[in-house]
Each structure stands twice: as structure tokens, then as C-alpha cells.
Amino acid sequence: MNRIPEGVYPVMITPFTDENAIDWPAVDGIVEFYARMGCQGIFAVCQSSEMFCLSEDERVLLAERVARASAGRMCVVASGHVSEKLDDQIRELTRISRTGVDAVVMISNRLAGQDESDETAIRNMNAILDALPGVTFGMYECPHPFKRPLTDRLLEAMAESGRFAFIKDTCCSAPVIAHRMGVLRGSVQLFNANAATLLESLRDGAAGFSGIMANYHPDLYVWLTGHFRDQPERARRLAAALSVLSAAEGHCHPVCTKDHMNRSGVPMKLHTRSRDEHGYGELDRHFIEDLMVVEDALRAQIPEK
């Protein structure tokens, strides 16, 4: 079985300049922020990275830059798997695999159309596996442009291949996650994207957290994933607070996330390609200001070790 470190894998945002180009110094700054916060990994070139709004060359360059900036300090998984045609998917994933990342992440909804069967998805998945021998893979249950759920049959095929190390699960249901881990039987590590169900899923055997909120206070998620067993009551209170704070996801992500990064000492523009930053208003900014006050209060309540 392929294995990667358990823990916290932020879904990395992509900073842009006023000229709409990728802001490479800010990319490096985000990676340093994750490292400083103790993250075990990074999920780069994902939906939060606005991968559907990046050119193929930009996706490859972004994965390469993140892998280089991480310099082995964190495990880097990356996708950029956005094409419709299988041949194009194989080409783009081959290019991503050569960037130095630790695992290449397939998108479940790219493997078959919305009305096509699991067998079609599995056939295309296996074609990608055959085209990239020796590469470690992940799977992302991406909700855009539609969600293809990770069915038992697809999970079984992933497990049987022995090629997958990472799943980003977006079902937002602790019982479903527990069922999926039962199907996988430890063959693939599952990372929950949902803060509200995270603690329960960790207790059931999930490998960690890979969600939007790891861009805000990843150190709190690092503590939770590392101490939910030995400090269960403190972990329960922290998990409840993190669940409430995850409301930030509804405040014009990724614009709000970039504002928080700025306030955290990682300078970047609020410009995005997927959202109009002018929709990020005074109330949103006030929410982020208050969120940061609560973050500091939570940090003061947990031991450093």
C-alpha cells in the first residue's frame, strides 16, 4: 500500500497579481505559512486553487513551484485534472506527475459523465493508472462541475489497484465516511474536508483534514488531529469551535481566504478568477476580523505541546 503522512493538508489557494498572473512570491509565502503552522501536507492545484480557471501550463508550473517551495518539509499532492477527454487527462496528469509532487490526484467527476456508470469511471481510472506506472495517486470527490460520489464499487476498485494513498472526501456525513473506511479497510487514507464531522471521522479512523479552513488556522487542526485521542475533552471543545468557525467558507471564498492570509502576514491581492472580489463586503471583512480574535482565544486554551 502507498502511504503518506497523516494530518492536515490545506486546499491551497492561488494568489494573483493585479495583471491576473499567478503571484509567485505569494505562492512561496503561503507554503511557508503552512510549514510554520505545522501542516503535514498540502493539496495544491485543487478547486480552491481555482484549477478550472488556470491554463494547463499554469497548473503544471504551480504544482512544480509548491513542490519546490515545500522542499520535502510537507507532503505535496496535486491535481489539475480538469479535461473532458481521457487522452487529455492522461497528458495533463503525466505532466503533473513530473513536477516533484508526492501524489497525483484524480477528480472523480472527470472519470465519467454525470449519467455514465461506475464501470465507465473505473475503466477510465484504470487507463490512467496503466498510462502512469509507478505514480502514487489520490482521488478528490470534487463538487464542481458536478459531484460523482465515491461509491462502494469505485472505492473497491481503488483499493484493489494498490495505487492510491489519498482521498479527499466531501460527503460531509460521518456515518458515510465510517462506511467508506470500512469498504477501504485501511488500503487508502481518507482525509475529511468537512470541519463539522471531522472529530467523529478521526475517531473512526480518518487520516486527517483537507479542507478550506486549514487555510485559516491550520495549527488548530494540527493540534486536533494530533491530540484527539490523548486529550479527548479538550479536543471535543476545540472541534465544536472549529465547526462554528467553518462558516467562513460562506463568505466569498477564496476572496475571504486571501483577506485572512493578508491579515496573517502573507501579503497578496484579493483578486481571483472564479469570484468577483467586489462581492466581498464590509460584513465579510468584519466577520474575518472577529474570526481572528476567536482563533487567538482558542490558541491560548490549548497547550503548546
d(CA 188, CA 1): 8
Sign of CA dihedral 202, 208, 214, 219: positive
Helices (H), the chain: 24-36, 56-70, 86-97, 118-131, 152-161, 174-184, 198-203, 218-227, 232-245, 255-263, 282-300
What three-state secondary structure class fits 95? helix
Which residues partner with 43 through β-bridges?
11, 77
**CA-closest candidate to residue 41, choices 63, 72, 1, 15:** 72
Number of Cβ within a 10 Å radius of residue 135:
18
Contact by Cβ (8 Å): 81, 89:
yes
Quote the pLDDT of residue 80. 85
Sign of CA dihedral 48, 52, 56, 58: negative
Quote the pLDDT of residue 24. 98
Predicted TM-score (pTM) of this structure: 0.97
Which residues partner with 75 through β-bridges?
41
Number of Cβ within a 10 Å radius of residue 200:
17
Phi, psi at residue 76, to the nearest 5°?
-115, 120
The segments of the chain whose pLDDT lies below 70 read 1, 305
